[in-house]
Amino acid sequence: MIKKRLCREYIEEIERLERSIVELEEQIAELKMQLRLKVDEANRLAIENVSLRHKLEVMGRREERLVDFLRRLKVPIILIDEDNFEDVELDLDRDSIE
């Protein structure tokens, strides 16, 4: 009787552990899939980043050639350095009253 009871408890514990192992294996498989998706997304973003950097470089070279061409044609041009450009606030209310 005691032997059967102990065996039954051990068998139930083993079955519980087996179910836990199956659940853990499923979670591991799900996490692997999520990791693959994140790696794919990171790779796509890295490729897009390289592509955009290349486009930016091409646009910069094109701008330099265009400015050089316009200078050779002696076309008056004004270049504004956007990094050092300050916005100026204008008070237009005063002018509109007058």
Residue-wise pLDDT for 21-79, tens only, equals: 999 999 999 999 999 999 999 999 999 999 999 999 999 999 999 999 999 999 888 87
Model's pTM, two decimal places?
0.57
Q: How far apart are the first and last CA of the chain?
A: 109
Query: Is residue 61 a part of any domain in this protein?
Result: yes
Structural domains counted in the chain: 1
Annotate 35-77 with DSSP letters as a single string.
HHHHHHHHHHHHHHHHHHHHHHHHHHHHHHHHHHHHHHTT---
Output the pLDDT for position 4: 72
Output the CA–CA distances (angstroms, integers) from residue 82 to 67, 86, 87, in the order listed. Answer: 16, 8, 10
| Residue 95, pLDDT above cutoff 60 | no
Full residue range of the structural domain in which residue 14 is found: 2-73
